[in-house]
Amino acid sequence: QRAKLLQRYLSDEKKELQALYALQALMVHMEQPANLLRMFFDTLYDEDVIKEEAFYRWESSKDPAEQTGKGVALKSVTAFFTWLRDAEEESDKD
């Protein structure tokens, strides 16, 4: 419902990446509720709010200021990245 509003504010990859870091911090604050980050990632991707390049940059980021909760967050979205890579491979085959 709010995708258009978010798209307006997340207008470039740097802002998209910061939004992913903010979600990571929120998960730490909320003590890592099961599957919540995955649901956010799925929705933000499906609604074209955050592009796959930003997700990949977040995944591979080694920024020392953004490491709190990163390991747990990465583990919770493993299936998302597996799906994203599989979908990318499928589209490359077409």
- The pair of structure tokens assigned to 78 is 């493993």
- Tens of pLDDT, residue by residue over 5-63, are 999 999 999 999 999 999 999 999 999 999 999 999 999 999 999 999 999 999 999 99
Q: What global pTM score does this model have?
A: 0.91
Which residue from 49, 48, 55, 40 is spatially nearest to 85, judged by alpha carbons? 55
Architecture of domain 1-92: Alpha Horseshoe (1.25)
Q: How confident is the model at residue 94 (pLDDT cuts 50, 70, 90)?
A: low
- The pair of structure tokens assigned to 58 is 């977040």
Entry field: residues in the chain: 94
Task: Give the whole-angstrom CA distance, residue 10 versus residue 47.
Answer: 12
Domain boundaries of the chain, sorted by first residue? 1-92
